[in-house]
Amino acid sequence: MDQIEPDALYDEREDVSRARPILQGDVFHGVVLPGFGSEPRRVQVVAHPCAMRTGAALTPRITVAPVEPHELVTGSGWQGNPRIMPLAALVEGKHFATKFVDVTACPAELLLRDQRIATLSNQGIYVLQQRLIKHYTRTKMPLEALRSESAPVLTEAELLRDWLERVLSEDEISSDDALDTETLAFEQWMREGSPAPQQRLRIEVHHADVRREAQRAAAERVRVRKV
């Protein structure tokens, strides 16, 4: 299995943008997991991006796994621990790991944007997916295949974040309602037309074009909101 250093693993730590949609690999703190006692825990979302939303809304429950302190995993340790996802230097330089054997369904309302403490880079998401596949099936999946498979959904997540940051003010981004409303507007745009932008994202040749169109549509949305 592939190894990844903290600088490449994470996209954001501690200071996580509220405009980034909740995605596979996100780490939350202060979550009281049903069936795991009353102690607030750190958890990592392990659900595939395609399995955690119905339209723009999160599914009622999302699969997560508890994150616990763990010794730093180095070198061959990445090969020999398929039951965990190493999370080096996650909080204040301390090392943690996600325990796949304790995967459980977490009510989506417990995964609050303000309690998100880390997000993964795309490469980090592929490494997490690779370890999950190995854990459940003993199959080693190359990262390149995971990259190709995930390209449409991760591109859409990136477009949504761009849209929200472009359309909403800083104050609005701090409001869940404003983020949810604007997420719906984005989803509506993604499904308009034939073929709709969401359909066109299925082929990479259209990705650059859809990004340009999304920026123009977001600019138009800014104009409309001002009127």
Partner 1 sequence: MTVTTSGQATGTSAGGVADYAPSAPNATRALSLRADYLRTEVDMHAGEVQELHGEVREHDLADRSLEKSRKSVANLLEELASDRGMGWSDIAEVVGVSVSAVRKWRKGGLASPESRTRLARVAALLDVLEEKGVIEDPAAWMEMDFTLEPGYFIRPLDLYLEGHVTELIELAEHRQTTAQVLDRVRPNWRQSRSDFEVVLDTDGERSIRRRDE
Instruction: Indicate whether 208 belongs to the interface with partner 1 (CB under 8 A).
Output: yes
Q: Tell me whether residue 77 or residue 193 sits nearer to partner 1 (CB atom).
A: 193
H/E run at residue 119: strand 116-120
- Which two three-digit tokens encode residue 13? 């730590």
CB of 204 to partner 1, least distance (A): 4
Residue with tokens 């138009």: 220
Instruction: Indicate whether 172 belongs to the interface with partner 1 (CB under 8 A).
Output: no
Q: Give the binding range for partner 1 (CB under 8 A) out of 11-19, 34-42, 68-76, 172-180.
A: 11-19
Instruction: Indicate whether 171 belongs to the interface with partner 1 (CB under 8 A).
Output: no
Instruction: Indicate whether 148 belongs to the interface with partner 1 (CB under 8 A).
Output: yes
Which amino acid belongs to residue 85? M
Instruction: Indicate whether 176 belongs to the interface with partner 1 (CB under 8 A).
Output: no
- Judged by CB under 8 A, which of 71, 114, 192, 209 binds partner 1? 209
Instruction: Indicate whether 177 belongs to the interface with partner 1 (CB under 8 A).
Output: no
Q: Tell me whether residue 180 or residue 204 sits nearer to partner 1 (CB atom).
A: 204
Contact string 188-207 vs partner 1 (x = CB under 8 A) = -----------x--x-xxxx
138: Cβ–Cβ under 8 A, 6 or more apart, which residues? 82
- CA distances for 137 relative to 4, 25, 79, 100, 132, angstroms: 21, 19, 15, 13, 8
State whether residue 227 is helix, strand or coil: coil
Q: Which residues bind partner 1 (CB under 8 A)?
A: 7, 10-12, 17, 50, 121-122, 141-142, 144-155, 158, 162, 165, 199, 202, 204-212, 215
